[in-house]
Structure 1
């Protein structure tokens, strides 16, 4: 298995550059995908992103597969106007908390900042087979024991 690129390596810098390009090209598109539009804001022709860059796809899949506890999320604070980054507690009924005071007015920019934060937090060995646990309900995931 390929490990997550370390800080300061050319591979990591390339991942960040590719992700930023995708974010910039998706401005004006509803929702978010890590795809690069040939013409910014027009998804008719896609020229890059996760379907063309296997390492970027692999890193994003590993990020999405991480534990819910502590996961970074986007919280809309004013409908279609303002967003902030929050962190899930991993405990049912406990609301997320904001990670900082930064308010975003662009729904796409916040995606890139979360990507950078997750990349910094993701261990180099994330997603390796030796860390695999079968199933998704574990006693330490705060599920009621039956």
Structure 2
């Protein structure tokens, strides 16, 4: 399996550039997908992104496969349809997420790209390797009653 590209490599720069291209083309579209709109803001003709860039698709799948508990980056809407901020989950039920910085976004798409960059920096080079997978969510050390 291929490792995550290191900082400063052409492969990593290409991933970031393709993600940026998709983000810019999705402005004005509700929600978010890593796809390239031929006409910005119009999803009737999409290409690029995860359809045509296998390394970007692989990286996004690995990011989504990481443990969702403590430390996961999330988007928090601070003013409905107007302002968003990046926060980090505590991993403890009832404990609210904490904001990672003071930056306030007025565009849903821009915050997605910044989270992508933050997660790419935090993702270990060997993330998603087969040796890191386990038998599943019902392992005996997951506090499930043994039957």
TM-score interval, smaller chain = over 0.9
Q: How many residues were matched structurally?
A: 144
Question: Which residue matches 1:104?
Answer: 105
Structure number with larger C-alpha Rg: 2
Q: 1:138 to 1:99 in 2, by over 3 A?
A: farther
Question: Which residue matches 2:28?
Answer: 28
Shift of 1:136: 3.0
Alignment of 1:74-85 (within 5 A): 74-85=75-86
Q: Distance in 2 between matches of 1:34 and 1:54?
A: 12
Q: 1:2 to 1:132 in 2, by over 3 A?
A: same
Question: Which residue matches 1:11?
Answer: 11
- Residue 138 of structure 2 contacts residue 144 of structure 2 at CA under 8 Å; is this kept in 1? no
Question: Which residue matches 2:133?
Answer: 132
Asked if residue 89 in structure 1 is aligned to residue 90 in structure 2, the reply is yes
Moved more, 59-68 or 86-95: 86-95
Shift of 1:60: 0.3
Q: Distance in 2 between matches of 1:58 and 1:120?
A: 16
* TM-score, length of structure 2 as denominator length: 0.92
Secondary structure, aligned partner of 2:51: coil
> Unpaired runs of 5+ in structure 1?
none
Q: Distance in 1 between matches of 2:73 and 2:121?
A: 12
Deviation above 2 Å: which 4+ runs of structure 1? Answer: 136-140, 143-146
Deviations 1:62-111 (A, max 9, x none): 00111122111100001100000000112222211100010000010000
Question: Which residue matches 2:71?
Answer: 70
Q: 1:138 to 1:115 in 2, by over 3 A?
A: farther
